[in-house]
Amino acid sequence: MTKPLAIYTDNEDIDPTPGIRLLEQSGFTVRFLETLDPERILAESRGAQALLVGYAPIPDWVIAGLPDLRIISLISMGFDHVDLDAARSAGVWVTNLPGVATEEVATHALGLILATTRDFPFFERAVGVDWNARPAVTPPRLSKKTLGLMGLGRIGAKLAGFASSLFGEIVGYDPYLAQNPEAVARLESLGVRLAGFEEVLASADVLSLHLPLTPETRGIINAESLARMKPGSYLVNVSRGQLIDTPALAHALDSGQIRGAGLDVLDAEPAPADHPLLAHERTIVTPHVGFLSDHTLAEYVRIQAQNVISLSETGEPETVPVVDPR
């Protein structure tokens, strides 16, 4: 009997060896392409039942060209790099890793909030040059400030729990939030007051983004929305770089409308050396590592592989799918 074929397209900086071992023990033939190129993925994945994807784009024509494909198993929470409609039409499951790195990403967001509002970049530059240097704007006392959350899913809610004892108020907006008493009560128990998009923009001293990238959220933080924020406020993004209009944010930082930005994601990754937000004196940029911990490195690889194995053995993946084609 021919073994089913599983293809790892790319895996960035995560070692897929434990996942490969799991798949092989479950009867799969496994190949690792190590490419982000959709044309190469299509050419070298003929006959594959499973694609295990890192950040490679999987457009409709790749899905259409792989008639044996049953599942696209992602190693991320985000899924904007896969054509979900095409997968659904082709009867292909799509799975992600919901909740695996919730604690890590929320912790990273809190770290960026603290580092940005405490003006770590300024003080780091001052050490060894002028020990007594002080920034033009003194760091704020957070207990007298408002944290705004755009997105109140697992990560946004976890951050609210972390931040509730630090900030004077937390206001939150989520266009995808289930409008039921249980959801509202859960957020209220975390100290979150629900508000509309415009109110969160206008009231937040620190705005933290926790939204998925969709056609509706792409560029949601643009020149207009930045102008509606409080002068001298702060922006943090650990979700997707494309939520932010980069030139608009660079301009807002230059003008002082936005005092500082803490970013774990950018609109281009890896970021080019001349990216306008990389060297800006009012930004802290980390290289999309909010998910990273000893726990997540192991679990990301295991669950990505297990979703493929579970679908083969039981007819359903281990995690709740993004696309269930049944």
Q: Residue 184: which pLDDT band, with cuts at 50, 70 and 90?
A: confident
Question: Catalytic residue at 313?
Answer: no
Question: Catalytic residue at 240?
Answer: yes
Coil/strand/helix, residue 272: coil
Model pTM greater than 0.75? yes
pLDDT at position 234, please?
Answer: 98
pLDDT at 264 over 70: yes
Kindly report which listed range (180-184, 216-220, 262-266, 299-303) carries the lowest average pLDDT score. 180-184
Number of other residues whose CB lies within 10 A of the CB of residue 85: 11
pLDDT at position 7, please?
Answer: 97
* Stretch 300-315: mean pLDDT: 96
- Using left for φ > 0, alpha for ψ between -120 and 50, and beta otherwise, residue 35 falls in beta
- Over the chain, what is the mean pLDDT? 94
pLDDT at position 78, please?
Answer: 85
- Selected catalytic residue, list 108, 280, 288, 318: 288
- Selected catalytic residue, list 240, 259, 275, 282: 240
Coil/strand/helix, residue 207: strand
Beta bridge partners of 72: 51, 94
Of the candidates 254, 272, 271, 255, the one whose C-alpha atom is nearest the C-alpha of residue 263 is: 271
Of the candidates 155, 147, 166, the one whose C-alpha atom is nearest the C-alpha of residue 230 is: 147
- Selected catalytic residue, list 269, 299, 302, 316: 269
8 Å CB contact between 224 and 218: no
Residues 6+ apart with CB under 8 A from 171: 146, 147, 148, 149, 192, 193, 194, 195, 199, 200, 203, 204
Based on its alpha-carbon atoms, the radius of gyration of the chain, rounded to whole angstroms, reads 21
pLDDT at position 311, please?
Answer: 97
Question: Catalytic residue at 125?
Answer: no
What's the CA gap between 107 and 102, in Å, rounded?
Answer: 8
Token code pair at residue 296: 């997540």
Kindly report which listed range (184-188, 207-211, 219-223) carries the lowest average pLDDT score. 184-188
